[in-house]
Copies of this chain bind each other. A is one copy, B any other.
Amino acid sequence: MLREVTLDDIRPIAIGAGILGTGGGGNPYLGGLHLASVIREKGPQPLIDPFALADEALVCVVGSIGAPTVSIEKLPEGTEMARALRLLEEHTSRRFDAVAIAEIGGANSMQPLIGGLQAGIPTVDSDSMGRAFPEIQMSSYLFGSDAKVAPYAMVDAADNAAVVPQAASDLWGERIARNIAVSMGARAGLAACMMSGAQLKASGVHYTMSLAHHLGRRVIEAQEQKSDVPEAVADVLDGQVIFRGKISDVNRRTTKGFARGWVRIDGFAPPEASGGSLEIEFQNELLIARINGEALVTTPDLICIVTEEEGEPVTTEMLRYGTRVAVIAAPAPQQLKSEIALEVVGPGAFGYDVEFRPLPGGVIGLPPDAG
């Protein structure tokens, strides 16, 4: 288990979180550059074992909200997370003992490290997705406990701020936050989901920062050994490489604060097992993978696109015609597969008329030694 995050850990975390991001969560390379500059200034960020948290500790979640396509063009001012944390503390007249991770995927794995470091609050080695999802209410902290998304605070690079003291439901909270994010240029810092240590322990997907780090290191090792990197990724995530091919078409639009669309990948050498075309639909994140119209992998199970040679993550906003990629499918953490969870993160929640067909197995969210 990782005890702190140093400069040397950034590259493995960026790779691992990039892959776990299933296309979303924000660009991990840019997130890594930002985190490096903050660690250089302030030193390593301590990482807390979730079960070392006191039951009565006060925790909140921070992350960036918006469209990944925007986040690579509109750079942050840099202190959004810490300012959002402080604003929420001010509004509620309470102080946070720790910062948890909304989604381990992409740059959002790093925002709680950045915000925590800047605010002097440690980060918990726990997230609420074990991957990335586009909307705030898609969080095991919320559907796995009686925590609520509101009160929450948002800030942008231009010194605009907003607090939502209450929302009629978590879904209403998401709608309001999304529209505020749109008015802030489709990128804002968010501090939300206040909860106790007990709530976090009961509902989180734990040790995912350690998992991202471990995954990234295995990728780097495989790259150095010139072995099959996508297979190494599948091995760490208890998944499998389901497709290898070349991106032949991308349909992507930035709409209502999301990047939505689909990508088509044509298999190498059609007569092979990996022949034909794989189509993946996304809403910030990759959600449904289909071959010949049949759903092969369905949300919340993970669909990860990596470059075929190097096994580096390919995020939604970086999908480009001609890139040679491998697609890995991996089983979602157990916390996302309960009946109540599937109502929020299953195919129906995204408007797909498809049943969730769980992949067998799964290691995301288990203690490091159990994997």
Contacts and interface: CB of A to CB of B under 8 A. Distances in A.
Interface of A: 87, 91, 158-168, 172-173, 175-176, 178-180, 182-184
Contacts of A184: 176
Q: How many copies does the complex hold?
A: 2
A160 B172 CA distance: 8
A163 B92 CA distance: 13
Contacts of A175: 183
B183 A162 contact: no
A271 to B, nearest CB: 51
Given A179-B180, A182-B179, A183-B179, A161 B166 contact: yes
Contact of A160 (B161, B167, B182): B167
A180 to B, nearest CB: 6
Contact of A176 (B165, B178, B180): B180
A360 to B, nearest CB: 40
A165 B161 CA distance: 6
Nearest to A178: B183
Contacts of A164: 160-163
A165 B83 CA distance: 12
Given A91-B163, A163-B91, A168 B158 contact: yes
Contacts of A91: 91, 163
Contact of A163 (B163, B168, B172, B183): B163
A176 B179 CA distance: 8
A88 to B, nearest CB: 11
Contacts of A180: 162, 176, 179-180, 183
Contacts of A167: 160-161
A158 B171 CA distance: 12
